[in-house]
Amino acid sequence: MKVLHIAEAIYGGGAENVFFRTVKGLQESHDDRFQHFVACKSSEYVSIKPDLDFKVNGKESESLISYIYSRSNFRLLSDYLNKLCPDIIHMQLVGNLSPSVLHAVYNYKRKYPKTRIIQTAHNFEHICSHYSAYDYRKSVRCVDCINNKYKTKVFYRLCSRKGALHSWAKGVAALVADFFYNRGLVDQLIAPSDFLANLLLQRYGNAEKVKVVRNSVDKVEAEARKKKNIVTYFGRLSEEKNVELLVKSIPEVRKKVPDVKLRIIGNGPTEEKLRRLVDELAIVDIVEFLPFTSQEKLFHLVEDAKAFVLASKFSETFALVMYECVLMDIIPVVAGYGAMKEGVEWMKCGFQFDGIDEAVLAENLVMALTNYEAHRDSLVKAQQRIRQELGYVHYMKNITDLYLKELKTS
| Residue ranges of domains in the chain | 2-122+187-216+391-409, 230-389
Please check whether residue 236 is in contact with residue 269, taking contact to mean a CB–CB distance below 8 angstroms.
no
Which residues neighbour 119 within 8 Å (Cβ) at sequence distance 6 or greater?
Answer: 90, 91, 92, 186, 188, 189, 190
Q: How far is CA 163 from CA 99, 101, 159, 205, 262, in A?
A: 21, 25, 7, 32, 32
Q: What is the pTM of this model?
A: 0.92
3-class DSSP state for residue 138?
coil
Beta bridge partners of 41: 9
> How is residue 56 annotated by DSSP?
P
The CA distance from 209 to 201, in Å, is 8
- The confidence score (pLDDT) of residue 74 equals 95
pLDDT digits (tens, 9 = 90+) for 114-160: 999 999 999 999 999 999 999 999 999 999 999 999 999 999 999 99
CATH class of 230-389: alpha beta
Please check whether residue 345 is in contact with residue 289, taking contact to mean a CB–CB distance below 8 angstroms.
no
- The confidence score (pLDDT) of residue 59 equals 42
- State yes or no: pLDDT of 299 exceeds 70: yes
Nearest to 362 by CA among 340, 341, 333, 339: 333
pLDDT-based confidence at 96, cuts 50/70/90?
A: confident
- The confidence score (pLDDT) of residue 354 equals 95
Q: How far is CA 55 from CA 11, 66, 70, 95, in A?
A: 14, 11, 11, 14
341 vs 21 pLDDT, higher one: 341
Rg (CA), the chain: 22
Q: Do the domains spanning 2-122+187-216+391-409 and 230-389 agree at the CATH topology level?
A: yes
Please check whether residue 328 is in contact with residue 302, taking contact to mean a CB–CB distance below 8 angstroms.
yes
pLDDT digits (tens, 9 = 90+) for 23-72: 999 998 888 999 999 999 988 888 899 999 986 554 444 567 788 999 99
Q: How far is CA 369 from CA 231, 354, 363, in A?
A: 8, 19, 10
* Percentage of residues in the chain having pLDDT higher than 90: 80
Q: How far is CA 13 from CA 134, 234, 242, in A?
A: 19, 11, 17
- The lowest-confidence range among 118-132, 211-225, 378-392 is 211-225
Please check whether residue 333 is in contact with residue 322, taking contact to mean a CB–CB distance below 8 angstroms.
no
Beta bridge partners of 5: 38, 90
- The confidence score (pLDDT) of residue 223 equals 61
- The confidence score (pLDDT) of residue 60 equals 40
CATH 3.30.70.3400 fits 2-122+187-216+391-409, yes or no: no
